[in-house]
């Protein structure tokens, strides 16, 4: 992946849902041109955040042998934008699918409790082998799932 757009995995319940977060930093290169003078996170990257979180859900649910590949967006609604300094909270929920090789998800993003996007999408569950090394994916998982660093109260 060129961009790892999910900064933290908060929770994964295999077969049910996954929650994660993206912290938007002004230094992210895609913000330079979207839009000059008023940087906002592109809606397509929010969709990619959802797809990546669904990928982590699939990886955890399969003991890191499978990944999710998006191939169809059923609906996408955007209600506002995220800007540098925002934390985008992400949630993907599994929706039943009749085909065992396909996965369907309903997703929502919020910033400070305010809904920003609602998307329904689906795709294939594919072997992780061939996409990336299992060890590398498991290492990334350990970093993304690690507890947040403690901060000192009252520190400057």
Residue 20's beta-bridge partner residues?
9, 90
- Between 53 and 153, the more confident residue is 53
What is the pLDDT at residue 151? Answer: 67
Q: What is the DSSP letter of 142?
A: H
Q: Which two tokens stand for residue 127?
A: 């072997």
Q: Which domain holds residue 126?
A: 8-145
62-113 pLDDT per residue, tens: 999 999 999 999 999 999 999 999 999 999 999 999 998 899 999 999 999 9
What is the pLDDT at residue 3? Answer: 77
Catalytic residue among 7, 10, 19, 34: 34
pLDDT category, 146, cuts 50, 70, 90?
Answer: confident
What's the chain's average pLDDT?
A: 93
pLDDT category, 118, cuts 50, 70, 90?
Answer: very high
Q: Which two tokens stand for residue 5?
A: 């757009």
CA atoms of 116 and 107, how far apart (whole Å):
11
What is the pLDDT at residue 153? Answer: 64
DSSP H helical ranges for the chain = 43-61, 134-145
Any domain includes 156: no
Question: Does the pLDDT at position 127 exceed 60?
Answer: yes
pLDDT category, 155, cuts 50, 70, 90?
Answer: low
Total structural domains in the chain? 1
Any domain includes 138: yes
Q: In this structure, what CATH number is given to the domain that contains residue 112?
A: 3.10.129.10
- 8 A C-beta contact, residue 110 and residue 20: no
Q: Does the active-site annotation cover 34?
A: yes
Question: Does the pLDDT at position 1 exceed 70?
Answer: no
- Answer positive or negative: Cα dihedral of 106, 19, 16, 129: positive
pLDDT category, 156, cuts 50, 70, 90?
Answer: low
Query: What is the CB neighbour count within 10 angstroms for residue 72?
Result: 11
β-pairing verdict for 17-23 and 66-78? unpaired
Any domain includes 59: yes
Any domain includes 150: no
43-64 pLDDT per residue, tens: 999 999 999 999 999 999 999 9
- 8 A C-beta contact, residue 20 and residue 5: no
């Amino acid at each position: 992946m060129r961009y790892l757009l999910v900064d933290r995995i908060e929770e994964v319940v295999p077969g049910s849902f996954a929650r994660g977060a993206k912290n938007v930093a002004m230094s992210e290169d895609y913000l330079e041109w979207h839009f000059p003078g008023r940087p906002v996170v592109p809606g397509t990257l929010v969709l990619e955040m959802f797809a990546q979180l669904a990928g982590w859900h699939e990886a955890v649910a399969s003991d890191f042998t499978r990944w999710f590949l998006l191939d169809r967006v059923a609906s996408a609604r955007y209600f506002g934008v995220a800007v540098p300094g925002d934390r985008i909270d992400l949630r993907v929920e599994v929706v039943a699918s009749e085909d065992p090789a396909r996965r369907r998800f309903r997703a929502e993003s919020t910033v400070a409790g305010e809904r920003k996007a609602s998307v329904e999408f689906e795709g294939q569950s594919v072997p992780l082998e061939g996409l990336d090394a299992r060890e590398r994916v498991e290492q990334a998982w350990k970093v993304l799932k690690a507890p947040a660093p403690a901060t000192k109260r009252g520190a400057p």
